[in-house]
Amino acid sequence: KKKTSSPLSMFFLRMRKVNDDGEDVLNGLEIVRLKDKMGTKQLPTAELILDGTEAIRISEEGRGVSSIVGMLHITRYHNAISSVAYMRRMTSLAMDFARRRYAFGSNIVQKPLHMLMLRSMELDTRGNLLFVLEFSRLLGLVDVGKASSEDAAVLRVISSLLKLFTAKEGVRLTSEGVECFGGVGVMENSHIPVILRDSQVLPIWEGTTNILSLDLLRACQRESEAIAHLENYLRKNARGGSLLISGMIDRIFSYLKNDMPSLSRDMMEANARKLSFNVSRLLIASVANRVYQEAGKGEFETGDKAVLDHWLNRMEKEYEALELGITEKELREYESLFSNDLGQNLDKRGERRSRL
């Protein structure tokens, strides 16, 4: 009942309550409508109106966001698990289909072109799984009080990276997987399209890719020690491995320490998305290297080496150059790119309508 201009607080709210007449009723909640989503329809999403809702404040007033940070690690972690699960499911189904589908004189699993695509899907899935498992390891250390200051700092920094990267990878891989089935892949009775639709929701849950990229930017600006810990963590993972990893660490952290501080706020934000993907691919490659080095000559060496080589290649080939400035000419080109597609007529909202 108290109104305040303070920042958000955190409350515990029960969906239902017992009223004065002893009846079990909704706790001041009015369900306006259920949303008609493209995916995750098995988990209903609704518009709610809270009117007279009873709740208990469980944080200090105005400290809701800081109180919920620990839970954000978990929800982002769950999001990443879902993404990797969709990747694994689609890859497994595509491999099974390839062993059964007969075309052009043999099963398509024997066709080199198709086999290479399946191999890429498998190694992509394994790399993203490594990311999830590494986060699990760090989270477990923190939960049982055995984490070093470095472990805790790295966990904070990579939480947003884990979610944004695995979510985008999930959409890309499941889309590729649909194609593996040909026409069957777009038939609703195959249940393949629902995997793609569900995975498409994951980049939006728990913060969009752009929003989470800005989380990394804030960490770079506010937690210099955490970034130093991240660099040290990556260098330890890179020991005994390819010079490509150490070279990429030098490249990225030279930008963070030497170039980024002199950039404008707009320029830093413009690079945030590229930086997040670059760091994510670097992290997966470094963890793959550590796993391979620790495996030695064990039974998983061949698979570990394949994952490492695949992600070294992706880390290098997919690196996105970070801008250090935009010229006036480039700025005008960017502006014209948008303005040329918009007409001068106004719609009912008073906005210009697109000519497209």
Closest CA to 53 of 102, 15, 79, 18: 15
Inter-CA distances, 62 with 8, 69, 206, 219, 334, Å? 5, 14, 21, 21, 40
Tens digit of pLDDT for each residue in 55-80? 999 988 888 887 887 788 899 999 99
pLDDT at 331 over 80: no
Task: Please compute the mean of the pLDDT values over residues 130-155 and round it to a whole number.
Answer: 95
Identify whether the C-beta of residue 65 lies closer than 8 Å to the C-beta of residue 87. Answer: no
pLDDT at 257 over 80: yes
Residue 355: its pLDDT value, please? 53
Name the most confidently modeled range: 54-63, 327-336, 339-348.
54-63
Q: Is the dihedral of CA 274, 279, 280, 286 positive or negative?
A: positive
**Which residues sit opposite 106 in a β-bridge?**
103
Tens digit of pLDDT for each residue in 5-59? 668 899 999 999 998 889 999 999 999 999 988 888 888 899 999 999 999 999 8
